[in-house]
Amino acid sequence: MCQGKPAQNVKVKLYDDDRGIDADDLMGETTTNDKGYFENIYHKCADGLKLCDRKFTIKIKDNYVTKGKKPSKLYDVGRMELEGGFSVKMSSSALSGIRILDFSRVVAAPFASMILSDLGAEVWKIERPGNGDDSRLFTPPEINGQSCYTLGLNRNKKSIAMNLAHPEAKNLARKLATKVDIMIENFKTGYMKKFGLDYSQLQQINPGLIYCSITGFGPDGPYADVPGYDVIAAAVGGLLGITGPKGAHGEPVKTGVAVTDLATGLFAHGAILAALLHRNKTGK
């Protein structure tokens, strides 16, 4: 089964390659170097060693909320005023009062919003009508007919189904975006733009919005339009090349769990917290 349909009825675009990419290939790959993912480290014991440098970047638009000027609809009584003109609701939970609009599905981005919900954030999860999140089809195991995978990754979240192709649903989604602090999505590059839900459009109606977009290969570069999945990232990143009984000298082997998905979720939640701290300190 794929996306709720028999696999033979699903059309997919395949990319030919006779092997997985190993670590040496990755180090010399133009895209990773151009994006500044690696830094040359010089040491007497390891001259010219390359280490992973940048984990994520935060871009700030000029049209931001300035100090002392905050969207009134986002805040209510019982919040603590912060230096940057923002406020948080007083509570024992670290992120209590923070609202998240979550359009993500499967593993990577839902894992990020799961951690944030564990920290007290209120997460509004948007799913497609019908099958909902793809992970609902990840069975067994299941409890009362529901995927344990979905129940685990989406605990503490409030979920509704929404068909963004419908004008009323699109307008509702944009209205919800004005009432949250953070939005998360992990669709293919450019997908949200056609619904008026990309950052450049939402930032105009919610200047203080923190927008986390997770794509296969980033929003720019030669692979920007190529969709990504855990096993693809593991292959391109060289992880499959060092997994298995023979390590880097054997055939590529898939890891037992979705390592790159989970790592992506961890980095994403860290980036969101960093952006939230920056916004609350500076108002930008």
Q: Which residues are known catalytic residues?
A: 261
CA-CA distance, 70 to 84, in Å (whole number)?
A: 9
Q: Which of 130, 110, 83 is nearest to 269 (CA)?
A: 110
Is the CB of residue 249 less than 8 Å from the CB of residue 50?
A: no
Residue with tokens 């954030």: 121
Omega cis (within 30) before 140: yes
Identity of the residue numbered 55: K
Supply the DSSP string of 161-197, one letter for each residue.
Answer: E--TTSHHHHHHHHHHHTT-SEEEE-PSTTTGGGGT-
